[in-house]
């Protein structure tokens, strides 16, 4: 059997109900993440904010794709690369992805060797990371110059009148 005790409104332990109660509880407790380090909590906040941002980008892309009746070009044809007279679809994107992931790996290894105070390996891996980053930027420049040479320009629409698609009106 539970006995309820009424507290006066001036009681400091009385918390509001609903969302205000949750906010009051979290803001009053400086140990909201009780056994979690500050760095780990901030990493989770960063990951969640990244998910929200990319989710918004994907929703905007979906709205743009669905708001027009004009067919979009086939990505396999647009991003195909001709090597030796043979057109290979999406190979440039696959190579750029490999370069980008490799640069992340070399940077992680550089940080690891930095913690171990091995300056030579740290510097070498950072140079490799910078070279991979420059390679990625060069490939982006190549891809954009190829697209621009084919007639694609930033802000140019292909057969769609400007402001003709209004997905949210």
What are the tens digits of pLDDT across the range 126-143? 999 999 999 999 999 988
Position 80 scores a pLDDT of 81
Position 32 scores a pLDDT of 57
Residue 64: closest CA among 166, 159, 160: 166
Residue with tokens 């490999």: 98
Q: What would the pLDDT profile of 77-129 be if each residue is shown by its tens digit? A: 777 888 888 888 888 899 999 999 999 999 999 999 999 999 999 999 999 99
pTM, 2 dp? 0.57
* Mean per-residue pLDDT, 144-155: 76
pLDDT category at 48 given cuts 50, 70, 90 is very high
Position 30 scores a pLDDT of 56
User: How many DSSP H helices and E strands does the chain contain?
Assistant: 5, 2
| CA-CA-CA-CA torsion sign (121, 122, 126, 132) | positive
Angle 124-109-116 (CA atoms, 0-180°, nearest 5)? 85
Q: Is the pLDDT of residue 42 over 90?
A: no
pLDDT category at 60 given cuts 50, 70, 90 is very high
Q: Is the pLDDT of residue 161 over 50?
A: no
Average pLDDT, the chain: 80
Position 50 scores a pLDDT of 96
**DSSP E strand boundaries for 21-119:** 81-83, 86-88
Rounded Cα gap, residues 17 and 29, in angstroms: 16
| Residue 3 or residue 99, greater confidence | 99
**DSSP E strand boundaries for the chain:** 81-83, 86-88
The pair of structure tokens assigned to 8 is 């006066």
């Amino acid at each position: 059997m539970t006995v309820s005790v009424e507290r006066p409104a001036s009681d400091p332990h009385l918390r509001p109900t609903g969302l205000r109660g949750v906010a009051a509880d979290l803001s009053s407790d400086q140990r909201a993440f009780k056994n979690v380090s500050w760095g780990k909590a901030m990493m989770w906040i960063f990951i969640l904010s990244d998910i929200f941002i990319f989710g918004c980008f994907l929703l905007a892309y979906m709205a743009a794709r669905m708001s027009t009746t004009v067919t979009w070009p086939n990505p396999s044809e647009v991003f195909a690369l001709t090597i030796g007279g043979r057109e290979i679809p999406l190979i440039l994107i696959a190579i750029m992805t490999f370069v980008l992931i490799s640069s992340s790996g070399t940077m992680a290894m550089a940080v690891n060797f930095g913690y171990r105070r091995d300056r030579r390996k740290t510097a070498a891996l950072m140079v490799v990371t910078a070279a991979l980053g420059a390679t990625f930027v060069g490939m982006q420049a190549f891809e954009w110059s190829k697209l621009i040479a084919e007639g694609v320009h930033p802000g140019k629409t292909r057969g769609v009148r400007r402001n003709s698609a209004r997905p949210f009106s």
